[in-house]
């Protein structure tokens, strides 16, 4: 394991990789401050890595992913507008602090708790790494198949709104993944008469660009003239921000509890940063002796929110790396980047590419550090970025997206695919269907089919294999529990309403 760590450090020392990481962090901080644009930016960033060596590509992805929530905390504190959804709870106490003239202190608290939360998450991941091979080996084809079913159910349940629509999206995603030549069966399926373009299935890059970038740009056009409307901008004092840094250590219990919630939320597919964010905030309120102070500028509120949404990355990397099951949209794009670079998560990934795992970890550590500095020093500029006019942003972002969709394979039909996927993604979100479950279904479809077929080969064609192995039985029970949860959630929701 230490050899892989040293190899990863060696990759960092290569000329250009530190620059890529720094530029990725800068892009992540800016995109994080622009509500709704991070996934679009991350997907476009992924397309730039085509042709790079996997290490450099992962430094860019880690740079962008590690810095997003730091960027998102700035408009949450200064404008009362969360840059990304997982920064939403930061508004509750961060913005009141800013209105009381403590914007710098709040920005410092957010930066320090984000960084420390991320470090706690990554230390947890590193502690688990020696056991990863054993965990992976415990999962044969039947277990992996049930894990995919469990993952899709949890993502569909965790989404806002109708779980049925989430499941329909997942089903459509899996079905779409079956288009093209099947390496499992050796036949070309559902190719719509296309013997060339759809041979390898729906191309991943233009499909992602359409769903995540183009669809979101149309949503931005509908929302208004600037990226984030409203909010009274408040200035930040840089010295105040540095004062806020040390204050985090006065609230160690909140920091560790929120980080632990973030890690757990990351480990379970679908329980992304939003849920971790609100759960850790509500836990901070429950554990506090001064509950009445929350919502009016309590530093603990900022710490709880920011520590959890950064700690989740450490937890979320684990299922993505060892099973190839992404728990969130960001992790789905990361998985897309793995596939783009010929890296297949699972046992062989852990055995052959442990250096890439450490590249991601080192990248996330440095990115979080750089982003915390950037968010504190450039908070005033970042809050101005949110007032960029849509008239500028949409055509430029669209052209970058199209350039990325084309560049991956230099095939002009990919441009048409990106536009079609954009229309499809826009209509999906418009009518309350989850793009994330669709994408996760799409990414896991072929592997799930392979596991299903292999399971039946192992059992000589009998389905009892899914009901007789301990792990599959546990996963099946968990699936049944998830199917009953909407009723309980509905009852709690109505009670709280």
Partner 1 sequence: MMPRGAVIFVFFLLAVSLFFAVGSFNYSGMAGFVPLVLAIPTALLAVVVLVGEWFPSVTRYFEVGLEDLLSTGGGEGQNPPVHAPRAGEIKLIVQTFGWFVAFALILFLAGFYVAAALFALPFMRFQGKIDWLGSMAVTLLVEAFFYVVFEQLLNVNLFEGVLFGSFVLPL
Within 350-369, the residues that bind partner 1 by CB under 8 A are: none
**430 binding partner 1? (CB under 8 A):** yes
Could you give the count of Cα atoms lying within 13 Å of 429 in the half-sphere of its Cβ? Answer: 20
Query: With CB under 8 A as the contact rule, which of the stretches 127-135, 268-276, 344-352, 473-481 interacts with partner 1?
Result: 268-276
Task: Give the list of residues 6+ apart from residue 224 with CB closer than 8 angstroms, or none.
Answer: 390
For residue 232, count CB atoms less than 10 angstroms from its CB and return exposed for 0-12, middle for 13-18, buried for 19 or more.
exposed
**208 binding partner 1? (CB under 8 A):** no
Q: How far is CA 421 from CA 6, 270, 324, 405, 452, in A?
A: 41, 23, 23, 11, 28
CB-wise, 90 or 102, nearer to partner 1?
90
- Helix ranges (DSSP H) in 299-412: 299-322, 329-340, 347-352, 354-377, 379-385, 390-407
- In angstroms, give the least distance from the CB of 204 to partner 1: 17
Within residues 367-406, the interface with partner 1 by CB under 8 A covers 389-392, 394-396, 398-399, 402-403, 406
- In angstroms, give the least distance from the CB of 199 to partner 1: 11
**272 binding partner 1? (CB under 8 A):** yes
Query: Site for partner 1 (CB under 8 A): which residue of 13, 431, 464, 470?
Result: 431
- In angstroms, give the least distance from the CB of 39 to partner 1: 6
CB-wise, 164 or 381, nearer to partner 1?
164
Give the residue from 256, 233, 172, 247 showing the smallest Cα distance to 427: 172
Within residues 54-93, the interface with partner 1 by CB under 8 A covers 82, 84-86, 88
Query: Site for partner 1 (CB under 8 A): which residue of 377, 413, 471, 476?
Result: 413
**487 binding partner 1? (CB under 8 A):** yes
**51 binding partner 1? (CB under 8 A):** yes
CB-wise, 275 or 284, nearer to partner 1?
275
CA torsion, ordered 230, 427, 397, 269, to nearest 10 deg: 90
**416 binding partner 1? (CB under 8 A):** yes
Alpha-carbon span 188 to 472, nearest angstrom: 31
Angle between helices 141-158 and 470-496 (to 10 degrees): 0
Using CB under 8 A as the binding criterion, the count of chain residues that bind partner 1 stands at 97
CB-wise, 237 or 486, nearer to partner 1?
486
* DSSP character string of 449-493: HHHHHHHHHHTTT-TTHHHHSHHHHHHHHHHHHHHHHHHHHHHHH
CB-wise, 231 or 416, nearer to partner 1?
416
What sign for the dihedral angle of Cα 163, 320, 444, 402? positive
Query: Site for partner 1 (CB under 8 A): which residue of 37, 107, 275, 360?
Result: 275
Could you give the count of Cα atoms lying within 13 Å of 188 in the half-sphere of its Cβ? Answer: 11
**146 binding partner 1? (CB under 8 A):** no
Number of Cβ within 10 Å of residue 176's Cβ equals 18
Within residues 148-207, the interface with partner 1 by CB under 8 A covers 157-168, 171-172, 174-175, 178, 182, 184-185, 187, 189-190, 194-197
């Amino acid at each position: 394991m230490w050899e892989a760590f040293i190899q990863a450090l060696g990759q960092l020392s290569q000329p250009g990789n530190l620059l890529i990481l720094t530029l990725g962090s800068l892009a992540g901080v800016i995109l994080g401050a622009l509500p709704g644009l991070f996934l679009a930016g991350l997907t476009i960033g992924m397309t730039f890595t085509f042709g790079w060596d996997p290490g450099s590509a992962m430094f860019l992805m880690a740079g962008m992913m590690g810095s997003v929530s730091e960027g998102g905390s700035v408009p949450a504190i200064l404008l009362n507008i969360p840059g990304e959804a997982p920064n939403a709870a930061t508004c509750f106490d961060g913005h009141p602090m800013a209105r009381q003239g403590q914007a710098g202190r709040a920005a410092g608290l957010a930066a320090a708790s984000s960084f420390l939360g991320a470090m706690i998450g990554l230390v947890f991941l590193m502690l688990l790494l020696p056991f990863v091979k054993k965990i992976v080996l415990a999962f044969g084809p039947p277990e992996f198949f049930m894990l995919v079913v469990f993952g899709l159910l949890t993502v569909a349940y965790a989404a806002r709104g109708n779980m049925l629509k989430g499941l329909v999206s997942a089903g459509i995603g899996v079905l779409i993944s079956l288009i093209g030549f099947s390496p499992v069966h050796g036949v070309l399926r559902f190719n719509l008469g296309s013997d060339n373009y759809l041979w390898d299935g729906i191309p991943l890059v233009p499909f992602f660009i359409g769903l995540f970038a183009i669809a979101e740009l149309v949503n931005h056009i509908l929302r208004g003239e600037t990226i984030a409307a409203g909010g009274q901008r408040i200035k930040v004092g840089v010295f105040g921000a540095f004062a806020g840094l040390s204050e985090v250590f006065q609230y160690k219990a909140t920091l560790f509890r929120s980080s632990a919630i973030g890690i757990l939320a990351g480990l379970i597919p679908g329980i992304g940063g939003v849920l971790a964010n609100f759960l850790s905030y509500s836990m901070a309120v429950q554990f506090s002796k001064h509950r009445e102070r929350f919502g009016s500028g309590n530093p603990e509120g900022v710490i709880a929110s920011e520590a959890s949404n950064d700690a989740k990355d450490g937890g979320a990397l684990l299922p993505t790396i060892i099973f190839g099951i992404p728990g969130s949209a960001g992790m789905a794009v990361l998985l897309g980047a793995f596939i783009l670079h010929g890296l297949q998560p699972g046992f062989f990934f852990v055995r052959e590419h442990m250096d890439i795992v450490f590249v991601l970890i080192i990248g996330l550590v440095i990115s979080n550090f750089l982003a915390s500095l950037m968010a504190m020093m450039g908070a005033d500029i970042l809050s101005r970025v949110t007032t960029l006019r849509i008239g500028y942003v949409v055509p430029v972002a669209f052209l970058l997206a199209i350039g990325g969709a084309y560049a991956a394979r230099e095939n002009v039909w990919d441009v048409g695919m990106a536009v079609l996927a954009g229309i499809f993604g826009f209509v999906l979100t418009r009518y309350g269907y989850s793009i994330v479950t669709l994408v996760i279904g799409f990414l896991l479809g072929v592997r799930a089919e392979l596991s299903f077929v292999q399971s039946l080969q192992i059992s000589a064609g009998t389905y009892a294999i899914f009901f007789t192995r301990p792990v599959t039985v546990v996963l099946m029970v968990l699936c049944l529990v998830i199917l009953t949860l909407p009723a309980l959630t509905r009852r709690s929701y109505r009670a709280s309403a």
